[in-house]
Structures are given as structure tokens and as C-alpha cells.
Amino acid sequence: MSEIKPEVNKPAPVSPKPEANQVVEQLDKRLTRQLAANLAVCAHCGLCNESCHYYLASGDPEMVPAYKADQIRKVYKRKYDWLGKLVPGWVGAVDVDPEHIDKLVDQAFGSCTMCRRCSVNCAMGIDMGMIMRNTRAILNSMGRTPKGLQATVDVHLSSGNNMGIETAELVDTLEWMEEQLQADTGDPNAKIPINKKGARAIYTLNPREPKFYPLTILAAAKVMYAAGEDWTISTDSWDVTNYALFNGDDAGAKKIADSLAKAAESLGVQEIFMAECGHGYRAFRWESENWLGKTYTNFKVRGFVEVMADYIANGRLNLDPSLNKDPVTYHDPCNQARNGGIYREPRYILQHCVTDFREMTPSGIHNFCCGGGGGALSMTEYASRRIKSGKVKADQIAATGAKIVATSCHNCLDQLKEICRHYGIKAEIKNLCEVVADAIVWKK
């Protein structure tokens, strides 16, 4: 793959030995039974090759998933494998040097979105996502996370959301959307409740929504209004995202998750609705209890897609599919479908909201990553590679002939917009709640 060599967050040059030691020490610290088995088991059969969008789009052998995982496996073998200790070259083990660390950075951050498509296509069931996140965590502890990704986490930790949005700015936007909600529903009492104690559920937001896509907030508000939901938004903690899932900073991830859990507890809600954000959903729903070391007992966590499907199943939404006549396809965000188990719900929702649904091939848990996962959008140094890898998804969309691509993730949404523009596909990209909101029949 020919491209500009990415500039990553390199610390001041130091002697190679301490940095090399850090990689091995950190690997040693993080080595669980699962990680060791996943590193030891690879038979290098190559079955994973064609499951990777980076490899399919570039044909570059260095984009083969097993090759990418091998970069940390080489370090593992040097330290733990019998032959790796005695004759490292024989099993491909290496001593860590600055060049190898650069390679680890490039492979873990710039060549893998941790979508785990290769894992479901691996004969051994190797959890490549786990290997890559651990590699990222090792590099993060050495200050080698690409600047953009690190900044996203730092801003979140310092300001409470990843875009540094002030509370007053958020409240302004919510009030504006509330006025819009009242106008659209014809109900002057329609509300976007803020900090409502005892509400049944907290709804979270992706900072991109108040910043760039306020109409997504409106769409979600319409759905909850139509369903008669008792909900609120907490100004203490409202950001659905947690990019520490991507930079491998467990302590940061824990702090971010804890802030949302505390907001839910302080308002006494029964549920947290995770806005349509693939990684945000996965981070809080599936990973945060492990970071925090406890299982949530005071509240339940659901993705908004699950909530909407539930509303429809319980007859709480009056929908007319003929209000969405254009052909619609659905892009499964990897963190929601393959990594989160939400792939039946979006289809159920679309069956009730559109007249012409066209499935991509493959789809569901076998869906291809759009290329925007793993924090890729925040790492501008890998932008050309990201766009190139998105060709696989662009071809999938084009093959459906859909005019609307619905998805449930803001990273996917932005990447899909970019690749459709880049590859000349005339399709509108929407969050699923916008499609649902468009199908709601309002009582006159």
C-alpha cells in the first residue's frame, strides 16, 4: 500500500532498550489465559485473509489479519515460546527494537479497526480484537497512541465529553430541539427533559449530535415522545462515547464509564439508553462492568436500537412504512452487531418503517467494517488508508442500489458519508432513529 508515512505521537528519542523492555513488561502484565491462548494458537493457515476489508481493498499481504497480530505474537514468542527463546528466527520471534515498535503502532492503530470479522472467520476462533486492543494498550502505556485518538480521550476526561462542549451550549441546543419537537408534534408540552430526577431512563448523546447533527437528537426525542417514554438527559454525564476502548487506556475507560453510571444512579433511573453509537454502546454495555469490576444492579443498559424495536413490538409507535418509500439498506456497525449482538433488531425496525429494504451481502454479524471503526476517524495520519479500505463497503452499498443507508453509529455515519462522496455513490446516510421518526404517524 503506497501512502505517506503516518506521523504518530512519538516521544523524544531514548535508548532503544527501555522502550523495548516496556513492551515486554506490559505484555507480561496484561497476559491473561485468553490472550496467551489466542497468541499461541495461530497455525498461519491464512483463512482470515479475505475477511479483512484492509486486505481486500489493498491486496497488500501486510494487511492480512494474521500478519498484523503476528507483530505482537513475535514479542510473545520471544518471551514465552520454547523455540522462540532458543532459536527466535525459526519461529519468527523478535527482540523488540524501535523499528518493531513503529510497526506495532502502524499495525495496531492504522491497519485494524478491531472489527473482529477475521475472528468469526478463523478456524481457531482467535480473538483478533482482543490481541489488537492489548497491543494498543501496551503502546498507550508508552505514550505511542496517535495524537488525534489520544486527544479525544484526553478531552473527554478533562471536560466530560470528547468535544469539550460546555453545558450551557448543550442546554441551548436541547432547548432549540425542544422547540422544534413542539412544532413538529403540535404539542406545546412536548419536552426534552433535562436532569429529571426519577425519570425511567437516561438518554445519552454523541457529542457530534449537539455539535453537528442536532436533528438526530430531535429524531430520538420524537421516537421517545411518540412512545410515551419517561426519559431525561443528564448534564453531569451525557456523552455516549468512550474512545478509551480504542486507545487501550483501561483507567481512562473506567473513569468515563463510571461518570455515566454515577449520573444514572444520582437521577435514580431504571435504564440507560445508549444513543446510536457503535463503540459507545459496546464500551458501556459490554466492557464497562469489567473495567469497573462490578455488575450493574441499579439500572439496565440498552442500545437505542433495542429500545426502538421494543417500542414497535409493544405497539407503542404508530408507523407508516409508506412514509419511507426510497430503497433503504442497513449498515451493521461492527461494535453493535458482531461485538454487541444487535443485528436482528435493526431489521425488525426497518420492516416496520420502510417499504423497500435491501440487504447488503454479507450482512449482520458477517458485515464488512466500513473502515471508520477503532477510532480510525480520529487518526488523520491514516486517512488515506481508511478511505481506501472503505471501498469494500462502498461496493456493497452500490450493489444494493439503495438511496438511503441507515446505520446506528456516528463513526460509521461519517465514514459512510465520506466513502459515498469519494466513490461517487448517491445515497443519503441516516441514523436509524431518523428513519423511524420519519415513519411516525402523528395524531392530528
Partner 1 sequence: MGPTLMLPEEFKYLATIKTIVLFIFLSMYFIKLRWLLSLRLGKDLSTPKGDRNLGIRRSFMSNFTPWGMESSKSKPFGWFEFAFLHLGVGSAITASFLIPYFPALMVAPITQIFTIFAALGCLAALSRFVKRVVKPEIRVISSWDDYFSSLMVTVWLAVATVALLGNITALVAFMFITTGLLIYVPTSKISHYLYWPFTRYYFGAHFGRRGVIG
Candidate list 18, 186, 268, 362; residue touching partner 1; CB under 8 A: 362
- Among 24, 56, 62, 182, contact with partner 1 (rule: CB under 8 A): 62
Written as one letter, the residue type at 416 is L
The residue among 18 and 125 lying less far from partner 1, judged by its C-beta, is 125
Cβ within 8 Å of residue 5, ≥6 positions away? none
196, exposed or middle or buried, with CB in 10 Å at 0-12, 13-18, 19+? middle
Q: Does position 95 bind partner 1 by CB under 8 A?
A: no
- CB of 219 or CB of 369, closer to partner 1: 369
Output 300 or 403, the one with its CB closest to partner 1: 300
Which residue, 51 or 152, is less far from partner 1 as judged by CB?
51
Assess 123 for contact with partner 1 (CB under 8 A): yes
Per CB under 8 A, the list member of 1, 40, 142, 151 interacting with partner 1 is 40
Question: Residue 330 has what DSSP assignment?
Answer: E
With CA atoms as reference, report the closest residue to 103 among 42, 58, 62.
Answer: 62
Q: Looking at beta carbons only, is 16 or 364 nearer to partner 1?
A: 364
Contact predicate 204/260, CB 8 Å: yes
Q: Judged by CB under 8 A, does residue 49 bind partner 1?
A: yes
Q: Which three cell numbers stand for residue 174?
A: 436541547
E strand intervals along 244-298? 271-274
Stretch in the footprint of partner 1 (CB under 8 A) among 77-85, 198-206, 265-273, 393-401: 77-85
Per-residue contact string for residues 285-314; x = within reach of partner 1 by CB under 8 A: xxx-xx--xxxx---xx-------------
Q: Between 61 and 401, whose beta carbon lies closer to partner 1?
A: 61
Residue 399 interacting with partner 1 (CB under 8 A) = no
CA distance 137 to 141: 6
Q: Does 121 bind partner 1 (CB under 8 A)?
A: yes
Q: Does 55 contact partner 1 by CB under 8 A?
A: yes
Among 1, 341, 352, 423, binds partner 1 (CB under 8 A): 341
Query: In angstroms, what is the minimal distance from the CB of 366 to partner 1?
Result: 6
Tell me if 47 contacts partner 1 by CB under 8 A: yes
Distance CA 33, CA 52 (A): 26
Q: Which stretch binds partner 1 (CB under 8 A): 11-19, 31-39, 269-277, 320-328?
A: 31-39
Strands 201-203 and 231-232: parallel
Check binding of 165 to partner 1 (CB under 8 A). no
Query: Exactly one of 42, 223, 406, 440 binds partner 1 (CB under 8 A); which one?
Result: 42
End-to-end CA distance of the chain: 58
For position 64 contacting partner 1 by CB under 8 A, the verdict is yes
50 near partner 1, judged by CB under 8 A:
yes
Report the nearest approach of partner 1 to the CB of residue 294 (Å).
7
Piece in contact with partner 1 (CB under 8 A), picked from 66-74, 97-105, 265-273, 402-410 = 66-74
b or e along 277-316 (b: 16 or more beta carbons within 10 Å of the residue's beta carbon)?
bbbbbbbbbebbeebeeeebeebebbbbbbbbbebbeeee
Q: Are strands 404-407 and 428-431 parallel, antiparallel or unpaired?
A: parallel
Residue 178 grid coordinates: 425542544
For residue 228, state whether it binds partner 1 (rule: CB under 8 A). no
Residue 104 and residue 248: Cα distance in Å, rounded? Answer: 14
DSSP 389-409: HTHHHHHHHHHHT-SEEEES-
Strands of the sheet with 428-431, listed across from one edge: 328-330, 404-407, 428-431
Output DSSP code: residue 284.
I
Could you give the CA distance from residue 281 to residue 284 in angstroms, rounded to a whole number? Answer: 6
Taking the complex as a whole, how short is the minimal distance between the CB of residue 429 and partner 1, in angstroms?
A: 25
| Closest-CA residue to 245 (of 336, 136, 340, 333) | 136
Segment near partner 1 (CB under 8 A); pick from 46-54, 218-226, 266-274, 411-419: 46-54
Handedness of CA 391, 397, 403, 406 (dihedral sign): negative
Q: Taking CB under 8 A as the rule, does residue 38 contact partner 1?
A: yes
Q: Cβ 358 to partner 1, closest distance in Å?
A: 20
Footprint of partner 1 (CB under 8 A) = 31-38, 40-51, 55, 61-62, 64, 66-67, 70, 80, 82-83, 89-92, 119-127, 285-287, 289-290, 293-296, 300-301, 337-341, 343, 362, 365-366
